[in-house]
Structure 1
Amino acid sequence: MEEDKIKSPQASQRYRRTRATLEQDIITAAEQLIGEKGFSRLKLTELCERAKIESPVFYNRYEDIDDFVEKFVRNYDYWLSDNVTLDTKNLSPVENMNHIIQTLIDSLAANPVMQKLIAWELNENTYVTRRTAQNRDNNSQEVIHYFENQLKANDINFNVGCAILIGGVYYLIMHKDLATFNNIDFSTDEGMQMLKETVSKMIYKLFGTTRGRAASTTEKLTSQRIARNLLQSGVDRDTILKATGLSEDELNVLNNPEEATAE
């Protein structure tokens, strides 16, 4: 990014705007410029010209261009926004994890600004890129710790397994418009659906068993609900058994409730 002397926009471009409108115009201008050039080539002069503002207007709101970027990305970074929420009342830990990762996939695929941000962080080691990357990791730790305490992954390190899963999602989505990957076109609806379904199966296979030896009544009911949903989605039996901890007989009852009643 570059910060240089600002030329005032032409008088014909000046018009009275509310504070909220000015803020939105700056954000919209940043979105456009980042989409065209990326974060690294974002210039303060071009930002002000595109937003049709003079430099004092910008400096009344931000210390400098780095301060603007740090605040700007909070609205677009999945982990820094309000998108990451846990529903511990209605969802089991593994259902919560699956929901969060599925939402991440949808959010990142539809969010070119976050894609540009991650690409910038990978390409440049600056104060701002280090800070945005670290803020993302710090902000996700509360959620990660919750899952770490609630889920187990056999002999797999949970944090590493989760990092590989999320990192893989990042790469495949950011790579999707360049070429196929393993002969799969992730830029298509079919490819994205395959990604989401496979990620879901991996989550249930790796982290589908809650900690503790004996399942409580609540846990058992939760496992049964998960199994029903997976059966309806066409997930194979082995995956469901591993994900829920149910026995073959218990799964058969769910799959054939009429036969179970007849017996």
Structure 2
Amino acid sequence: MKTGYKRVSGRTNNRPLTERKLIDAVGTIIKKHGYKGLTASAIASEADVSRPLINKYFGSLNGLIEKYVNEKDYWIASKSKITEVIVKTRKKAPLIELLVHTLQEQFRFFYTTEEMQQLILWEISEQSQLMNSIGNARESIGQEFFEKTARHFEGSDVNFKAIAALLVSGIYYLVLHGRTNSSLQCGIDINTPEGQCEISKAIRHLVTAAFNAGKNKTPLA
């Protein structure tokens, strides 16, 4: 029976399907072996495709991994949605609600996504041009939030960028520490629904306190 697709090394060469299999294989390898298992041979074997197709379709192994991260990373994958919500929020709801919701969702997403936990470990464990590029892309998205919040904090001593940096990096550390060692942080177990609820409430409290201080032009400390 003819499929309409060429065959490469005995396999049907359907480029969109092959690309999808390779991208998905990256996630599978990360789950099984961590980021150090991301070799071209391992990914091609997991996807059951010819290894040269990685370079043919993605330019390089890094190109394939970058494609995977761009689909999976919370901030990068949500860029268009976040931008759309920013525009809508200015008309329908306080910007503070968008910020709280976005950070709470980052916590939920990062806690439940093992692949991203491994990728953040890679990003903070060793120098990598690929991870540096991805980090810069993530940073550029954050600038959209800061541009919208800048006016709110004019004339106050509140540096919302610094507060956001602590919240985002704190989420990464809490999840990595809790998921790896199942240990408490300040008496809170984030591996329980109760602990996760407390962290989500703390995110709201901190963002709200920062906005109130900015509005009233009062110091946080």
TM-score (norm 1): 0.70
For 1:34 and 1:152, the matched residues in 2 are separated by 44
Cα offset for 1:181?
1.1
Classify the secondary structure of the residue corresponding to 1:138: helix
Kindly report the root-mean-square deviation, in angstroms, between the aligned alpha carbons of the 2 structures.
Answer: 2.2
Q: How does 1:159-170 map to 2 (within 5 A)?
A: 159-170=161-172
Q: Which residue of 2 aligns with 1:230?
A: none
Distance 1:194 1:30 in 2: 33
From the superposition, tell whether residues 80 and 182 of structure 1 become closer, same or farther in structure 2 (CA, over 3 Å): same
Query: Match for 1:122 among 121, 124, 127?
Result: 124
Asked if residue 31 in structure 1 is aligned to residue 27 in structure 2, the reply is yes
Counterpart for residue 77 of structure 1: 73
One-letter code of the match for 1:69?
A: I
Unaligned runs of 5+ in 2: 1-8
CA deviation vs aligned residue, 1:14-64 (integer Å, no higher than 9, x gap): 543633322221122111101122223311001001100012322221111
Instruction: Compute the displacement of 1:101 (Å).
Output: 1.0
1:204 matched residue in structure 2: 208
Provide Cα deviations, 1:109-128, integer angstroms capped at 9, x if missing partner.
Answer: 22222211111011011211
4+ runs deviating over 6 angstroms:
none
Gaps of 5+ in 1: 1-10, 214-263
Q: Percent identity?
A: 22
Query: Aligned residue for 2:5?
Result: none
Listed one character per residue, the Cα deviations across residues 124-158 of structure 1 (whole Å, up to 9, x for unaligned) are: 11211211112211222112221223346942322
Whether 1:181 aligns to 2:181 is no
In structure 2, the residue corresponding to 1:16 is in which secondary structure? strand
TM-score of the pair, normalised by structure 2: 0.82
Q: Is the 8 A contact 2:54 2:64 kept in 1?
A: no
Aligned residues between the structures:
201
Spell out, residue by residue over 1:152-191, the C-alpha distance to the aligned partner (whole angstroms, 9 max, x if none).
6942322111111211111112221211111211011111
Give the Cα–Cα distance (whole angstroms) in 2 for the partners of residues 169 and 40 of structure 1: 23
